[in-house]
Amino acid sequence: MVKRPLCGSCLQVGKLRRFSREAVNENPTSRKSVREFSAGGVVLRRMRGQWHLAAIEPNIVNADSITRNAARLRRRPTIFALPKGAIDKGEKPEQSAIREVLEETGVMVQAIAKLTDIKYFYVRSWGGRERVFKVVSFYLFRYVSGRLGDIQPAMRKEVRRAVWLPLDQAILKLTYPGEREVAQIAKKYVRVHPEL
């Protein structure tokens, strides 16, 4: 018999219940679904003869100062992500991406092209634990000015640090598969447009 890990839906009033598809899929329609739209960027800078990409290390243990999983989260391998965030009311996705890049990395950028949209589902760990369908529009940017990591103190709740990663390594080091694909698209763009 194969032992399977327990999940929250496998426990019932303190008594252990057999793991089953029904336990995992209880009331699938009872969870509210929402949509989120975000924008972010691949920021490129040519240094020492090769292209580098700006990545952030999100501050996982941030505003939720009392987190049961805080110790476990700190033991995880470093998470590298692309800078991104919610599209504010009245903003166009490209404007949001430029703003988010500045807020999370501290650098000013010049827009080059839209790369792609990535889409995925996740379940919020706060509020009503809604199921979220998220669309993130990614843009390719070229570094213009600023010091990477020079961000406002308030942003330290969201971003632990920002780093330049060689583009070839970034494709392997970014944590999220969708963002690795975005970096791969950026690499192809650079190959096709060497004048960048």
In this predicted structure, what is the pLDDT of residue 76? Answer: 67
Check if the beta carbon of residue 62 is closer than 8 Å to that of residue 73.
no
Check if the beta carbon of residue 41 is closer than 8 Å to that of residue 101.
yes
What φ, ψ does residue 26 adopt, rounded to 5°?
-55, 135
CA 122 from chain centre, in angstroms, equals: 12
What φ, ψ does residue 81 adopt, rounded to 5°?
-140, 165
In this predicted structure, what is the pLDDT of residue 18? Answer: 34
User: How far is residue 151's CA from residue 108's CA, in Å, rounded to a whole number?
Assistant: 12
CATH fold, domain 31-192, is Nucleoside Triphosphate Pyrophosphohydrolase (3.90.79)
What φ, ψ does residue 114 adopt, rounded to 5°?
-80, 135
In this predicted structure, what is the pLDDT of residue 9? Answer: 33
User: How far is residue 56's CA from residue 64's CA, in Å, rounded to a whole number?
Assistant: 19
In this predicted structure, what is the pLDDT of residue 23? Answer: 35
| Contacts with 193 (C-beta within 8 Å, 6 or more apart), sequence order | none
Check if the beta carbon of residue 114 is closer than 8 Å to that of residue 94.
yes
- Print pLDDT tens along the chain (196 aa): 333 333 333 333 333 333 333 333 444 455 788 999 999 999 999 999 999 999 999 987 543 433 445 555 556 688 999 999 999 999 999 999 999 999 999 999 999 999 999 999 989 888 888 999 999 999 999 999 999 999 999 999 999 999 999 999 999 999 999 999 999 999 999 999 988 8
Cα angle for residues 132, 135, 139 (degrees, 5° grid): 150
In this predicted structure, what is the pLDDT of residue 37? Answer: 97
Please tell me the chain's helix, strand, coil percentages from 3-state DSSP, rounded to the nearest 5: 25, 35, 35
In this predicted structure, what is the pLDDT of residue 71? Answer: 53
Domain ranges within the chain, ordered by starting residue = 31-192
In this structure, what DSSP letter does residue 25 have?
T
